[in-house]
Amino acid sequence: MSVTVGVQITNSHSVSIRLIAMASIVESAWTYLITHRNDFELACIGSFLLHESVFFLSGFPFICFEWAGWLSKYKIQTKNNTPADRKKCITQLALYHLCVNLPVMVLSYPIFRYMGMRSTLPLPSWKIISIQILFYFILEDFVFYWGHRILHTKWLYKHVHSVHHEYATPFGLTSEYAHPAEILFLGFATIIGPAITGPHLITLWLWMVLRVLETVEAHCGYHFPWSLSNFLPLYGGADFHDYHHRLLYTRSGNYSSTFVYMDWIFGTDKGYRKLKTLKSNGEEDVVKEP
């Protein structure tokens, strides 16, 4: 028994040492950043470059998978996009990111600063970062659900949201392919949490990275054995959101961005649940909304 306790103490001590070393590396890297760049450059240009890097690096592999036919057994839909479809998406994204996303980051900088955002040392603890990011995910999902549902009303769908639904077979990069008005409208859901809490910039960056990875995964078009939705009961993922793209116009359902409970509470996932039941029973795999 004493040997077991000794091993546990040794392992715990080893983990603590590694965490301290990691924290030291992060703090050293952050010190270098704030020494060589001012707050505006980090919050605006730095955030933009980080977003672009994470978004395109995480999204491009799914274009390659679809083009090469790799991992096709995990693909949710059998239909593939054409090279012209992919080119159009990438070209429009580059334009929207430069002409919409970057100006929004610049214009929102004073608001974040006023609300208390900082980039100075000391860095926040992992506990604070985790609590804030969890809050952002919950708030974003709530706001996004209602904003997205509004976009599926007849007029807004026709004139705004139909742009995003040009891709009935989504791939990772289509997650941010949308009308400029929608980018601003639904982008509010992403920034409202950080805007009202005034987090440290490193928290804002981590939130942005996680949110980008989540939305790219939701639009990737693949459901893998290792997908988070297989392990987290409330997480939607690609299978949940892909259904939303297959059924167009106002009755598609599955409006949430990250979780599934809002759709469950308000009954906007009935078609999806019916489809899952029929599939599990080996029946038809196409279900129309009532």
For 161-201, how does the pLDDT look when each residue is reduced to its tens digit (9 = 90+)? 999 999 999 999 999 999 999 999 999 999 999 999 999 99
At residue 62, does pLDDT exceed 60? yes
pLDDT for residue 5: 47
Q: Which of 10 and 160 is assigned the larger pLDDT?
A: 160
pLDDT tens sequence across 259-278: 999 999 999 999 999 988 88
* Residues ≥6 apart with Cβ < 8 Å to 46: 33, 37, 205
Q: Are 31 and 188 in contact (CB under 8 A)?
A: no
pLDDT for residue 250: 59
Residue type, 241: H
What does the pLDDT average to over 18-27? 80
pTM, two decimals, is 0.90
Q: Which of 64 and 9 is assigned the larger pLDDT?
A: 64
Residue type, 189: A
Domain spans, the chain: 37-280
DSSP letter, residue 169: S
The helix/strand/coil state of 257 is: coil
User: How does residue 254 score in pLDDT terms, banded at 50, 70 and 90?
Assistant: very high
What does the pLDDT average to over 87-101? 97
